[in-house]
Structure 1
Amino acid sequence: MNDNDLTGMLDTMIIGGGQAGLAMGYYLNEQQRSFLILDANGRPGDAWRQRWDSLRVFTPAKYNGLPGVPFPADPLTFPTKDEVAGYLEGYAARFDLPVLNGVRIERLWREGDRYIAAANGRRWEARNAVVATGCTQEPKVPVFAAELAPSIVQLHSSEYRNPQQLQEGPVLVVGLGNSGAEIGIEVARTHPTTVAGKPGGEIPVKHGRTAARYFLPIVRFIELNVLTLGNPLGRIAAPKFKAHAEPLVRTKTKDLVAAGVRRVPRVAGVENGLPVLADGTRLEVANVIWCTGFKDDFSWIDPALLDDGALPRQERGVALDSPGLFFLGQEFMYAAFSATLPGVSRDARYLAGRIPASVSRESAASST
């Protein structure tokens, strides 16, 4: 759509059109609210299209649907990232959600009783604002990465697509979470490969249809209903969950060994343009893939709306000191699954019930 399709004062603007923003749009649509979804990507689902080519989600299709539309695949299979992208694009079209693509919001602030978002000289005003930009906003790379020799090809996992991007010679994959393990095995087919780091444990079953039928439902129940900020166990787990690598789900350490991947300690720095491990070993490599995760970036939000650490002051997504401001799709926002396809819909439904209605779709249309 174009930005003239919905003008006047909005009830709610949703910043971010991934699974979190679309789920929120579904619930606001049900309530006949006037809202607009603003997204930086060119099409719904592009955040998934931009991941590495061979990526499959770790949860079975039966858990990956947003409200109103089950995921269209065998329920015990694990969809590709392009299947997820296509599902999200079709979802937005099916419910005719007002998504304005190609808009990267540069500023968000509060002015009187409304929130104002600005991008490229344009601005949008709404009584309520939902920040649904997800938890993969800014690639996280150690500062010493800049000291690596210019001849070394460096990619973050968000930039990696396939081994054809790499030059000849050894590859160092930094980080042994799920992305590091899967990318490490893939590049080992064409390059000598080393993976640095320590995993955060492993799911103790083989990933596949049997796990999808019997084991993963248990994991889903725990991560949605036990590991939550609503109980002591979840509150204890949350900081550790955010600080450490996630357990390996599909690819295990034995798979790395079988693929000929060399495992080494964490990377501690750079010496003479080459990566140095925590044990002092210097590695001769031609390529480095940083599977070191992401960090939050709320620098575009007025600091007055954030805490002293430039992070949301919120409880279960509801801003504590800024009426009408909400956050959705953040890691462990309420539960361990809050940022994932299986978990985001519940949080969206919760927030939709707490957003004060001030402008209906009909009154917004009559103001144009």
Structure 2
Amino acid sequence: MTQSVDVVVVGGGQAGLAAGYHLRRQGLDFTVLDAGTAPGGAWQHMWESLHLFSPAAYSSLPGRLMPAQPGQTYPDARHVVDYLADYEKRYGLPVQHGIRVDAVRRDGDRLRVEADCGAWRARAVVSATGTWSRPFIPAVPGRGIFAGRQIHTVNYRHPADFPGQRVIVVGGGNSGAQIAADLALDGDVEVAWVTRRPPRFLADDIDGRVLFDVATARRRALDAGRSDTGGVASLGDIVAVPPVRAARDAGLLTAKPMFSRLTADGARWADGSRVGADTILWCTGFRPALAHLAPLNLRGPRGHIATDGTRTLDEPRLHLLGYGDWTGPASATLIGVGRPARDAAREIAGLL
């Protein structure tokens, strides 16, 4: 059975909900298809100690402030899940959970969205699938011969899963620093933190509020033809949230340079030094989850889909939302996704 609507939103996490909020305000008929069986998007799968970079009031989706979490300046992931579930319910957003979209195709004057339980014909599509389902692990020499366990950020939950182990954490971003700190502060895990370049900590007083303002100022400068301010990258790579500060100040968060190869029992550096390991924990980022868009043949050089804001240049009926700065300043964050979601909904309403 094929259903017809004005707009299909693929993905029911924070970006999909923000899109739904603004599509509703535009008076459009839409549905949100979400592969997750429950509300909360990727936040349902985060590690237990994860907290937001910003206070609750600065971590909100459009129309509904996130309530403060008692006893916490920076809310934890469970609080975010509860907030997103409440947001979905409060606005009566038509989210259908447990539906995995396989493909989006052109179908005359419509786009056909094919899922594991049926199909929808839509006049426009918003892809808001994020990156969590596409973890990236680099092709490091020796990765195939390491005899221990290898996991990615997506598999990490808490230090208790590594009792007495030697763990090499790879990655110099926020996830790598936070997970290395989490393990090091536990005291029952021997941690080696490895980064491709020396870690750059932001000043202790910088949090998500500042980062959003900096990212927005950079985008406005570029749009106005002014010189690139460097944005967030000019400030550093790692937000010094309290656990990271604690581990850093205790001398537990000193990074080693990237190893040259993995061995059967650990890692080896170019100078011949070695570190033994039971587990390699790859905090090496993600790639956009866009496989469902392959039938549209939109990828250009190096696999990039060209966009103007959120609208794809080669298929104006398709908008990409929440994948990072290339689809809107700070659009992969709770506070940042609202503006590009609003702009996308307005463009779609104008198109239709």
Looking at structure 2, the residues matched to 344 and 358 of structure 1 have their Cα atoms a distance apart, in angstroms, of 21
Distance 1:300 1:272, change over 3 A: same
Distance 1:257 1:284, change over 3 A: farther
Contact 1:115/1:127, CA 8 A, preserved across alignment: yes
- In the alignment, which residue of structure 2 is the partner of 1:341? 334
The alignment status of 1:317 with 2:316, answered yes or no, reads: no
- In the alignment, which residue of structure 2 is the partner of 1:60? 55
Deviations 1:210-229 (A, max 9, x none): x66xxx64443222233454
Contact 1:338/1:347, CA 8 A, preserved across alignment: yes
Opposite residue 194 of structure 1, the aligned amino acid is A
- In the alignment, which residue of structure 2 is the partner of 1:300? 292
Distance 1:44 1:116, change over 3 A: same
- In the alignment, which residue of structure 2 is the partner of 1:332? 325
Opposite residue 18 of structure 2, the aligned amino acid is A
- In the alignment, which residue of structure 1 is the partner of 2:189? 191
The Cα of 1:50 is off from its aligned counterpart by: 0.4
The alignment status of 1:147 with 2:144, answered yes or no, reads: yes
Consecutive unaligned residues in structure 1, runs of 5 or more: 360-368
Opposite residue 61 of structure 1, the aligned amino acid is A
TM-score of the aligned structures, taking structure 1 as reference length:
0.84
Contact 1:199/1:246, CA 8 A, preserved across alignment: no
Opposite residue 194 of structure 2, the aligned amino acid is A
The Cα of 1:262 is off from its aligned counterpart by: 4.9
Looking at structure 1, the residues matched to 219 and 199 of structure 2 have their Cα atoms a distance apart, in angstroms, of 17
Between stretches 327-336 and 16-25, larger displacement belongs to 327-336
Contact 2:16/2:128, CA 8 A, preserved across alignment: yes
Deviations 1:174-216 (A, max 9, x none): 112111111112112221111001355222124xxxx66xxx6
Of residues 3, 6, 30, the one that matches 1:8 is 3
Distance 1:338 1:231, change over 3 A: farther
Looking at structure 2, the residues matched to 78 and 185 of structure 1 have their Cα atoms a distance apart, in angstroms, of 17
Q: Could you say what secondary structure the match of 1:116 adopts?
A: strand
Distance 1:59 1:119, change over 3 A: same
Q: Percent identity between the aligned chains?
A: 31
How many pairs are equivalent? 344
The alignment status of 1:275 with 2:251, answered yes or no, reads: no
The alignment status of 1:177 with 2:173, answered yes or no, reads: yes
Q: Could you say what secondary structure the match of 1:221 adopts?
A: helix
Distance 1:217 1:118, change over 3 A: closer
CA-atom RMSD in angstroms: 2.8
TM-score of the aligned structures, taking structure 2 as reference length:
0.87
Distance 1:37 1:253, change over 3 A: same
Looking at structure 2, the residues matched to 271 and 74 of structure 1 have their Cα atoms a distance apart, in angstroms, of 45
Opposite residue 120 of structure 2, the aligned amino acid is W
- In the alignment, which residue of structure 1 is the partner of 2:214? 222
- In the alignment, which residue of structure 2 is the partner of 1:366? none
Of residues 133, 144, 157, the one that matches 2:153 is 157
Contact 2:163/2:189, CA 8 A, preserved across alignment: no
The Cα of 1:357 is off from its aligned counterpart by: 6.0
The Cα of 1:241 is off from its aligned counterpart by: 4.7
Q: Could you say what secondary structure the match of 1:309 adopts?
A: helix
Looking at structure 1, the residues matched to 348 and 282 of structure 2 have their Cα atoms a distance apart, in angstroms, of 39
The alignment status of 1:204 with 2:186, answered yes or no, reads: no
Between stretches 94-103 and 335-344, larger displacement belongs to 335-344
Opposite residue 295 of structure 1, the aligned amino acid is R
Deviations 1:93-124 (A, max 9, x none): 01110001111211111121111121225211
The Cα of 1:261 is off from its aligned counterpart by: 4.4
The Cα of 1:72 is off from its aligned counterpart by: 0.8
- In the alignment, which residue of structure 2 is the partner of 1:362? none
Deviations 1:237-264 (A, max 9, x none): 47x959x982333255783361534531
Q: Could you say what secondary structure the match of 1:57 adopts?
A: coil
Looking at structure 1, the residues matched to 321 and 26 of structure 2 have their Cα atoms a distance apart, in angstroms, of 18
Distance 1:241 1:307, change over 3 A: farther
Looking at structure 1, the residues matched to 209 and 100 of structure 2 have their Cα atoms a distance apart, in angstroms, of 37
Looking at structure 1, the residues matched to 82 and 117 of structure 2 have their Cα atoms a distance apart, in angstroms, of 31
Structure 1 stretches of at least 4 aligned residues deviating more than 4 Å after TM superposition: 231-236, 251-254
